[in-house]
Amino acid sequence: MPPRLDPDRVRDAASRFPPDADGDPPPYGTAGFRAQAPILPPVLLRCGLLAAIKSLAAGKMCGVMVTASHNPEEDNGAKLIGPVGEMMSPEWEDYANRLVAAGSDDQLAAEAAAIWRQEGIDSIDEGRGGPVGGVVVGCDNRPSAGLLVEAALAGVACTGVPVVRAGLQTTPQLHFRVRARNLGQPWGEADYYDRLAMGLAKASRDLVGDAVPGRWAAVGTDGLLLDCANGVGAAKAEALIARLREAGCGWRFDVRNVGPRGLNDRVGADHVEKQRALPLGFETVAKGARCCSIDGDADRLVYFAPDGKRGLTLFDGNKIAALLALYIKDALKGMPGIAETFKVGVVQTAYANGASTNYLKTELGLQPVMTSTGVKHLHREAASFDVGVYFEANGHGTVLFSNDLIAKLRKIEYEDEAARDLLAMAEVMNQAVGDALSGMLMVECILRRKVWGLKEWEDMYTDLPSRQLKVMVADRAVIKTTDAETRCIAPDSLQQGIDAAVARRKSGRAFARPSGTENVVRIYAEAASQGEADSLAKDVARLVHKLAGGIGPVP
């Protein structure tokens, strides 16, 4: 029997996972749904149902990832994955909100039927719409994941669409698997490790072993210390490292913070980047050691080096993007006459440090494109280039290669080393979404290729001092922005006040934007000194608190 929407099954499933009668449903944020785990089963039911409908509309596999990423362990959430491994489009985000807002069993059945008709699924037959792909469901290692996975599966079952239980996965793995399956490529978890290992072998060439003279003096002989945030990425990193060894890679990794408890608790990429603090378990690590932190679902990474005083030198997403862009520009120098036809771009948000933007412009000749905060915005913009580099400061990003460019490189790879380098990079860097493990391998490769240690990487440019604050408000929607969230157009006079505060500081820059996931307004400020950056951030926080209905004390 072909898949169909069964209203009785929808109502039955909804009755088993009823919404919280006392609270409003969470909205679809910048990366999906996030909330305290106990209120999420009805949300996951609806996510499974929507993923199944999307799968039928596209004739391809889609995915549901149960995770709250870098959030505390008591939270959870869902990320919806489209048929090319991408995050869901704005239209389907609206559908998700419509389903989640449907309170009663009958309302949910009616809303699902309306979306079904709106997408014309009843008119899609197998000959025209292609085979039904199904839905793959994965999760991170939070204690609440089991019930939420069952709710998502119940949502899929309302349609009869085939389902794959992927079990424990990193978010990038699930994105990779959806994309690979729909491209007709090997798409198992082992295939993910194979792809990274083989890509790294090509990118590294003679660098995968430990016996290359001169390669280790700068990079460091002690290997990489990897903080896995006590998340699902710990086991996956160890599996990847085992596969790298099978492929002949002798690089050394010291995997730490592997769980089972303490997910994202004073560990992980978000802690290191936001707090500028060492993760737990790194207090006695030697000064200058090469360290990397990933987050709870392994889609973010930052590098750091302890300073010997319980502080650190941070290599955030901006620094990673600059390193990747430099590598690409170096490769293109080896392709005269061809490289000029490639459109290379770097995408940033307003959170990118001004020094990184200036480096890309003046040293690499690249004009960064600015987008609103949220990796979904950066990914779409980066996909418009032949080679598009995007990273948020928090370490979420990747490098995208157009199909047209890949085809051109394939034609010349056997006689052109630079083409082989770029093709290898396209294999290592996840083409569906930001991936901490693939990004880590590429950084390690580039440092060895350039015979660089962290000092040389640090010396690419020096960040301007910055400060981030957040102001709790009654309703974040009162803040409205434009120009990639860098300018406020409401409330009245707020931007005028920010401009005045910025003008009083040397190299000052600041903005305020509403959070995509919670009722707070986020403040970013930078200036020539840390003291000026701190005071600028506080001035903007006071303005927001006064004009946007702040709650509680001013930060």
Question: Which amino acids are annotated catalytic?
Answer: 69
Beta bridge partners of 469: 523
Residue 114: which residues within 8 A CB-CB, separation 6 or more?
none
Q: For the residues of 410-445, what is the DSSP string, one character each? A: HHHTTT-HHHHHHHHHHHHS-SSS--HHHHHHHHHH
Angle (CA) 285-287-293 rounded to 5° is 55
Q: Which of 163, 162, 160 is nearest to 1 (CA)?
A: 160
Measure the CA–CA gap between 270 and 149, rounded to whole angstroms.
25
Q: Which of 69, 56, 80 is nearest to 5 (CA)?
A: 56
Measure the CA–CA gap between 555 and 97, rounded to whole angstroms.
32
> What number of residues does the chain have?
555
Q: Which of 208, 195, 249 is nearest to 423 (CA)?
A: 195
3-state helix, strand, coil in the chain (%, to 5): 45, 20, 40
Measure the CA–CA gap between 269 and 281, rounded to whole angstroms.
14
Contact yes or no for 145/66 (Cβ under 8 A): yes
**DSSP label of 26:** P
Residue 430: which residues within 8 A CB-CB, separation 6 or more?
172, 175, 176, 398, 438
Measure the CA–CA gap between 509 and 511, rounded to whole angstroms.
7
Measure the CA–CA gap between 472 and 523, rounded to whole angstroms.
11
Q: For 15-25, give one letter per residue: b (16+ CB within 10 A) or e.
A: eebebbeeeeb
Tokens 């490189």 found at: 409
Residue 132: which residues within 8 A CB-CB, separation 6 or more?
2, 3, 55, 56, 59, 126, 161, 162
Measure the CA–CA gap between 332 and 26, rounded to whole angstroms.
46
Residue 414: which residues within 8 A CB-CB, separation 6 or more?
none
Q: How far is CA 369 from CA 387, 439, 460, in A?
A: 13, 21, 20
**DSSP label of 386:** S
Measure the CA–CA gap between 212 and 265, rounded to whole angstroms.
39
Contact yes or no for 364/325 (Cβ under 8 A): yes
Helix (H, G, I), strand (E, B) or coil at 205: helix
Contact yes or no for 325/468 (Cβ under 8 A): no
Measure the CA–CA gap between 191 and 448, rounded to whole angstroms.
25
